Structure 1
């Protein structure tokens, strides 16, 4: 028997460097500095990829194809997205050199104004060249896998939030920065799986302890007549800052817009913030005013229950569109605070919503919007999480372009305590292939048959009607 051959480590290292673009001229500590310093990078050669945002400001790009090159013990969680690996790498200075929480408390933080450019960060997806990366983002229909992009959006928003709250030396005070909500994520044009793309974002608005982050997905034309240079996907995330010990709200760095576009983005975000507060206030006073609409919605559902033979065959009860799945939250899915990564929850919710719309419509739907996401309670490692979805309602005003609105609710279930609490609510809108409609496909009207269901439908419809464009 021949002895086992020793592995050729030099060849392995050569392949690894080629795959992930590691060069001696751009070591890891330079990459971290460029992404977490509070001043613009001075060494233009330290990052190979740059992109120009709509404000004409150059920003260093994180390469989505780069992977973690550190011992697993130094990472709080290991995600399946290459982009989140790269973003963890960019954040690594935070948990490699943590600020002493006993020496500096969040009550001693002195917020300083920061320009949006100081938090602007982008991540580059080299789909045209990196076939391994592209394959991880492909769905069965040879389109982009939107669930993974949604996950990456949340990860990038978290990186930007950390960057905005960092000190002058790049360290971050002992804060919990968590996703509070996603107001909108709108698909404005198709995303092509075989063309490079960049996600870029920055903080656009700051309250006392909350901030809004706007992200854009940009896919340059690169000679492809089917692609325009306008953003393909736009999203608004709201993050809140909490004291890491008491979990009470703490003040964060304010924002100081520098350009006209940044001022306009700030004004739009301020309007959204005022609208959110107004809607919460009005919700308490309008519940008694919805009785007529409520009875109208319930009328058809009651026919299904009381006289099923006479029910409209073009309608279906809301409860008959439901799907659900359950899983235990694993330590590999945790963030740096030891809780489950919000992007992971969004991906799982999106994929269940997609399946629900698929089973309802009878053809693979196409994504249009993440209408809203609420992060009600944190989800911890070891939690038993149940995701329940349903088609909340359909929009059939335009028969050629029907819309399917799906709700997904996440419940943290604790069998030992015989309890179940809502942790997240997700709302998605899907469209249907026009060719399928031309070929005779009919999308059914969805009707509630309980007062609770009817109130949910009305609440969601009102929220959609009040959205800013």
Structure 2
């Protein structure tokens, strides 16, 4: 009874506050995780009661217009906001919202639940408004909440916008999937279930369940497990035939049609040493940082390929497969994997290099879609392999 009264008072108090800043979110997340690390094993509430969407919902601002000191970190040479830094903030905000969901209105920094780590499993989708260039002239508003919960996995939906001359201008919608692990990262832990309070919320949860099933189906249909289907084989064959020399009957003699490029010649690579400054609240390398450097490599490759400064319009299917430790060497490889008109899809593969053995282990895969001002060359594979 006492705990529920405290939670009720905390909710009323929080509702009177001004929107939190992103720095407040970072600090609150750090306090909460630090408090969790000090808790004895098997302490805290394990069987959490169901939560509503409103209990995790929160609003934060990136105060670029009102805090000029922040602008240097966020702006690029075009005086626009760096998308890679926004990715870092989305990752932080998503983890914060999951802990807030578990807290059920109790203050952050005073864990109501058992010790756990909330980590990013995947970025399911980020859709970006092509008509709005986000600028440092206006504060950025971030709002989000939990929209689906499994046993140990949880979906967080977020939206970003700016108020431009008093008019809301939407920038992006993002959907992250997080997972709960015990502090040693050896087993999954249950999260507070999600309950609905309206028909609209039931539809939102249903969409989250559909997205989960789609992720599972796509994983099951991976090319690592199944060969291409008939339509995919036909597409590959058409690409192959396009590159045959009509003057030479040999299948080994290949030519590029006009305004085409070999896909294996579109690569751009980078190597990164992971320093303590990239440390997350869990003493691993911050997942948002890996997203940022992967995006920046993909953007550079898109600029190289299109010969102009392309704009990011979508992010899809980012997977976090293994944690990255401080001191690890990351090998990043990007390439153009699909083009259509002005659009380019870039893949980025991130591997950890084991210095002693030379072995590599994939930690992340990324897919970014960019839009150029003019049509870009079509990429074609050199072989079926």
TM-score range, shorter chain: 0.7 to 0.9
The 3 A distance-change label for structure 1 pair 98 and 182 is closer
1:379-406: CA deviations, max 9, x gaps? 111111011101111012xxxxx10111
The 3 A distance-change label for structure 1 pair 193 and 99 is closer
Tell me if structure 2 keeps the 8 A contact 1:301–1:448. Answer: no
1:85-121: CA deviations, max 9, x gaps? x323112332443365544269x71132011111112
2:20 match: 62
1:70 match: none
Tell me if structure 2 keeps the 8 A contact 1:324–1:389. Answer: yes
The 3 A distance-change label for structure 1 pair 300 and 131 is same
1:447 match: 380
The 3 A distance-change label for structure 1 pair 261 and 244 is same
Moved over 6 A (4+): 36-39
The 3 A distance-change label for structure 1 pair 425 and 103 is closer
Query: Matches of 2:220 and 2:236 in 1, distance apart?
Result: 20
Tell me if structure 2 keeps the 8 A contact 1:134–1:194. Answer: no
Structure 1 segment 425-444 matched on structure 2, within 5 A: 425-433=365-373, 437=374, 442-444=375-377
Could you tell me how far 1:217 is from its partner in structure 2? 0.3
Tell me if structure 1 keeps the 8 A contact 2:30–2:281. Answer: no
Could you tell me how far 1:213 is from its partner in structure 2? 0.1
Query: Matches of 2:151 and 2:96 in 1, distance apart?
Result: 19
Structure 1 segment 314-393 matched on structure 2, within 5 A: 314-393=259-338
Matched, 1:42 2:12: yes
Matched, 1:200 2:143: yes
* Gap regions ≥5 residues in structure 2: 1-5, 246-250
Matched, 1:311 2:243: no
Matched, 1:416 2:374: no
Partner of 1:451, secondary structure, is: coil
Structure 1 segment 71-150 matched on structure 2, within 5 A: 83=23, 86-98=24-36, 101-104=39-42, 109-150=46-87
Could you tell me how far 1:161 is from its partner in structure 2? 1.5
Stretch of structure 1 that moved more, 365-374 or 160-169? 160-169
* Gap regions ≥5 residues in structure 1: 1-35, 50-60, 65-82, 397-401, 453-469
Partner of 1:177, secondary structure, is: strand
Tell me if structure 2 keeps the 8 A contact 1:99–1:173. Answer: no
The 3 A distance-change label for structure 1 pair 37 and 368 is farther
Partner of 2:366, secondary structure, is: strand
Query: Matches of 2:339 and 2:319 in 1, distance apart?
Result: 21
The 3 A distance-change label for structure 1 pair 235 and 45 is closer
C-alpha RMSD of the superposition? 2.7
The 3 A distance-change label for structure 1 pair 285 and 387 is closer
Could you tell me how far 1:152 is from its partner in structure 2? 0.7
Stretch of structure 1 that moved more, 111-120 or 178-187? 111-120
Q: What is the total number of aligned residue pairs between the two structures?
A: 367
Could you tell me how far 1:254 is from its partner in structure 2? 0.5
The 3 A distance-change label for structure 1 pair 121 and 147 is same
Could you tell me how far 1:430 is from its partner in structure 2? 0.6
Tell me if structure 2 keeps the 8 A contact 1:302–1:449. Answer: no
1:331-379: CA deviations, max 9, x gaps? 2212122211110001111111110000111110011011220111111
Question: What is the TM-score when the length of structure 1 is the normalising length?
Answer: 0.72
Tell me if structure 1 keeps the 8 A contact 2:330–2:352. Answer: yes
Question: What is the TM-score when the length of structure 2 is the normalising length?
Answer: 0.87
